[in-house]
Structure 1
Amino acid sequence: MKKLFLVFLLCCLVKVTYSQDVTVDKEKLFDLYQTQRYADAGQYLKTVYGENVSDVKALNQMGYCFLMAGNNVEAEKFYSKAYTLQPLSLPILFSLGSINTRRGNTEKARLYYGEIVKIDSNNFNVYKLLANLYPLPTDSLKLLYLLKANKINPTEGDVASDLAGIYSLKQAYEKAYEVLDIASKADSDNLILQKEKLPVANQLKKYNEVIAAGEKLLKDGADAGVVKDVAKAYYYTKKYQKAIDLFKMLEKMVMQNEATLYYTALSYRALKNYPQAAIYTKKTIDEAISPNTPNYYSLLGLVYEENKQFSLANTAYKKGLQFDATPGLYYRLAILYDTRLKQSSNALKYYNLYLKSKPNATDDKEEIKFAKDRVAQLNLAD
């Protein structure tokens, strides 16, 4: 097939050679194509035809060579010249749209693809390409182009997946399921579509379908998303131990999250295993709290302190301690009581807590020295 394509290109060049009254070394060009030296082929054609060539076929050929070589600047130059001569050519418009997409010139790409829509309103590929130029799933034009593409070819997997994703965001699960169902039935070996169908089916309470399809998928490997969806289906069908076994598999994969731990706790509770239910409820709480939460409260307290809102600063620092007793929070409270609130006993208390909390001996060297000095001074004052 590749050789036939190269022969076709060379035949086109023969016609170009005739019209331009120039000679192309067909064997040399064929060799460059065969070895995929497209940049050399483009340079060779430039030397043959020159920069001012006005033949569309020659311009297309040079544009193609530079496009294949990854030289988008040169490719766009020759395709743009071809476009001025044949503005209604779909291959030229597709090439210019592709080049501008690669270069991040989204608006220009949309314009070229928009010209294709005017010429061929039933072109599936152009609607798919246009949809990809709108990255936000909430963009109405992305939905519009996906709908048009899906209507033309409802069995194409990529478009079906993207369209179903938007429907799911809108909580239109029936529509999402229908789109994925049609595409997955047309391509029964498409595991991506099958996996994406599971959470949608769960939302529609098609639990038995999720379990049957999910268990088959799990035979090909323990995909975390599939494990989670099947586990949830087992939970809702009251097969709690099976749900627990799968949720624990996620823990072994270090893929657990707040929701999976919560369902594990609920499953243990349903089985009246209250000790494990308590353990997993605590794990759920820990997972829900960001490890950075104490830092956020420390920052909030510092902002209040700098704005002379000392009572609010005190509250913020102590709130942070509820999440994690970090050295930094103890130090901020000590400084607050010592220098702002003038409460020596509380300052001494938090300086001692700071020193006991094992601050970093290297990074916090100056703070440690200051805290030790103040402890000594405050003790003498007493």
Structure 2
Amino acid sequence: MKAIKYLVMGALLTGFSATANAQEAELNAALDGIKSKAPNVAELAKAAYKKNKKDAAALIKIGQAFYAQKDTANARLFANYANEAGKPKYQFAPAYLLLGDIESAYGTDGGKAAGYYNQAITFDPKNPEGYKKWAMVYRKISPSQAAKKLQEMKAQCPNEDVDAITAHIYMLAGDEKQAYENYAKANIGKLDKLGLNEFVRASYFTGHFQDALRAAEAGIKLEPRNPTFNRLAMFSNYELKNYEAAKAYIHKYFFETDSAKVSEYDHFYTALIYQALEDKANMYTHYDKALELVNDQSMIKRWAILKSVSDSYLKDKEFDNAIKYYDQYLACKPDVNSDDMEGVAKIYSKYADEDEARKAEFIKKAIEAYRAMAEKFPVQSTYAAYQCATMNNKLDKNGEKGLAKPDYQKVVELLESKADRTKGEDIMLKYSLHYLMSNAFLYGKNKALAKEYANKILAIDPEYPAAKQIRDLK
């Protein structure tokens, strides 16, 4: 009896094994045919379906293979077959993931794709893929809702780094601030190359240079020759005033990275590093290269580079070069403002302080610059007149010639009757009146007029010593 029993069992197992092998063979034949684009792929897929119509896992493999070959019709067909195979006991979450992928990649209705992903989440809430794919689709509609969905994933899938995924969603949506805030909470040790690349960029462009450096250094450990990581490590060190460390990255970035496309911005930053280290030769070399490469599409503008070059020459008291580059700066800057125009006057004023022989010449040019500023920006007329008076005082320190008198009188005319003077305007008016008071008393020999000016000063500043002294004269 036992012998008959075992004989029957053996026959059954042999039949089962033969059936399973046939199912697997036809499934593999279909998968290979789809991948190789065999001419009889339809027949192979049909045969595999017949043998595996109750096997949802096998059917979804066929659907995924068709999707990989961009055959969306057959991919959708086999996704639906897989779903049918799972009924009535359960819905097959991977089928909904595949249907969502098809709609996301080739459909026009993002909401439909999100719907499929949501069904995948419903039927398999412990699978993080549904949440991630839903968030990737929905980020185009609402990044904040996508982030909220990922928080739901956190409750179901505690091992997933939700912060990093959320940051990636915000980065794709162009919200670098939110991307940074989420990457800053993520485990940097678990970030891959893409995550570190986004983290370093989000940190740098939102001004979080310490985190940018941290992400860049982690990226360099993964890919020592990566240009983005080396570049932003160099820039971040500069922003953190780690100038020697920034310098160490210059050679690495320019000569030891793969496929680095060196830009005018790179040369500009390199010039700033050398400037901080007072390496003037290298500084000007890189400024020149930046000016060679810059164009209308550049991240940094030509005028910004020219201004930086002019400032460098001014710092070194090379005034002719400072003026040369400042003139070029003004010529190409599209929105010249009053501060820009005053910059010319400041250069000539400093030039005058350094060159006694040509002092009068440069003071005159500074005054011309202030007058031009007032003409173009009438709202600056008072300030310009005050500065012109200040310039003339450099040529007439004791006030004997009265060179500053006309401009100080203009300041008084413009401000004396103004009801809503600012603190700065009160200061300009007070010192203008002081000059006129002193001039009237010392050189005009007009005590009454000097007292008149003194009383006007005291109306602004009751404790002004010089005015009190003149007022009290007998």
TM > 0.5: yes
What's the counterpart of residue 36 of structure 1? 70
What's the counterpart of residue 167 of structure 2? 131
Aligned pair partner of 1:242 in 282, 287, 295: 282
Aligned pair partner of 1:99 in 120, 134, 137: 137
What's the counterpart of residue 308 of structure 1? none
Q: Is 1:82 the equivalent of 2:120?
A: yes
The amino acid across from 2:253 in the alignment is L
Q: CA deviation at 1:236?
A: 2.0
Q: CA deviation at 1:198?
A: 1.7
Normalised to the residue count of structure 1, the TM-score between the two structures is 0.59
Aligned pair partner of 2:185 in 148, 156, 171: 148
Q: CA deviation at 1:137?
A: 4.0
Q: CA deviation at 1:34?
A: 5.9
Normalised to the residue count of structure 2, the TM-score between the two structures is 0.49
The amino acid across from 2:235 in the alignment is P
Q: SS at the partner of 1:149?
A: coil
What's the counterpart of residue 153 of structure 2? 116
Question: Aligned partners of 1:271 and 1:192: how far apart in 2?
Answer: 33
What's the counterpart of residue 235 of structure 2? 199
Q: CA deviation at 1:191?
A: 0.7
Aligned pair partner of 1:276 in 321, 327, 332: 321
Q: CA deviation at 1:290?
A: 0.9
Aligned pair partner of 1:186 in 210, 222, 225: 222
Aligned pair partner of 2:54 in 18, 24, 27: 18
What's the counterpart of residue 468 of structure 2? none
Q: Is 1:262 the equivalent of 2:307?
A: yes
Question: Aligned partners of 2:99 and 2:198: how far apart in 1?
Answer: 35
Question: Aligned partners of 1:104 and 1:170: how far apart in 2?
Answer: 24
The amino acid across from 2:213 in the alignment is Y
Structure 1: give runs of 5+ residues left out of the alignment. Answer: 294-315, 323-382
**C-alpha deviations, 1:288-341, integer Å up to 9, x for none?**
551699xxxxxxxxxxxxxxxxxxxxxx9953699xxxxxxxxxxxxxxxxxxx
Q: Is 1:224 the equivalent of 2:264?
A: yes
**More displaced 10-residue stretch of structure 1: 40-49 or 274-283:** 40-49
Decide whether the 8 Å contact of 1:122 with 1:152 is kept in 2: no
Question: Considering only CA atoms, is the larger Rg found in Structure 1 or Structure 2?
Answer: 2
**C-alpha deviations, 1:97-140, integer Å up to 9, x for none?**
22222x4243442232112111233423x32231244454444x
The amino acid across from 1:97 in the alignment is A
Question: Aligned partners of 1:279 and 1:130: how far apart in 2?
Answer: 50
> RMSD of the TM alignment (CA)?
4.5
Question: Sequence identity, in percent?
Answer: 15
Distance 1:288 1:24, change over 3 A: closer
Question: Aligned partners of 2:66 and 2:129: how far apart in 1?
Answer: 23
Question: Aligned partners of 2:132 and 2:105: how far apart in 1?
Answer: 14
Distance 1:251 1:122, change over 3 A: same
Decide whether the 8 Å contact of 2:201 with 2:212 is kept in 1: yes
Q: CA deviation at 1:145?
A: 2.1
Q: Is 1:251 the equivalent of 2:313?
A: no
Q: CA deviation at 1:24?
A: 6.7
Q: SS at the partner of 2:278?
A: coil
Question: Aligned partners of 2:337 and 2:51: how far apart in 1?
Answer: 69
Question: Aligned partners of 1:107 and 1:200: how far apart in 2?
Answer: 29
Distance 1:279 1:13, change over 3 A: farther
Q: SS at the partner of 1:78?
A: helix
Q: CA deviation at 1:43?
A: 4.5
Structure 2: give runs of 5+ residues left out of the alignment. Answer: 1-27, 36-44, 296-300, 339-372, 380-474
**C-alpha deviations, 1:60-107, integer Å up to 9, x for none?**
443344444345454334333333323333222222222222x42434
The amino acid across from 1:281 in the alignment is Y
Q: CA deviation at 1:179?
A: 3.3
Question: Aligned partners of 1:145 and 1:58: how far apart in 2?
Answer: 31
Q: CA deviation at 1:19?
A: 6.1
Decide whether the 8 Å contact of 1:38 with 1:68 is kept in 2: no
The amino acid across from 1:93 in the alignment is Y
Question: Aligned partners of 1:267 and 1:232: how far apart in 2?
Answer: 10
Decide whether the 8 Å contact of 2:97 with 2:130 is kept in 1: yes
The amino acid across from 1:114 in the alignment is Q
**C-alpha deviations, 1:231-262, integer Å up to 9, x for none?**
11222222223211211222222355444223
Decide whether the 8 Å contact of 1:59 with 1:79 is kept in 2: yes
Question: Aligned partners of 2:286 and 2:49: how far apart in 1?
Answer: 62
Question: Aligned partners of 1:180 and 1:30: how far apart in 2?
Answer: 37
What's the counterpart of residue 418 of structure 2? none
**C-alpha deviations, 1:150-173, integer Å up to 9, x for none?**
44525x344445545565567554
Distance 1:112 1:261, change over 3 A: same
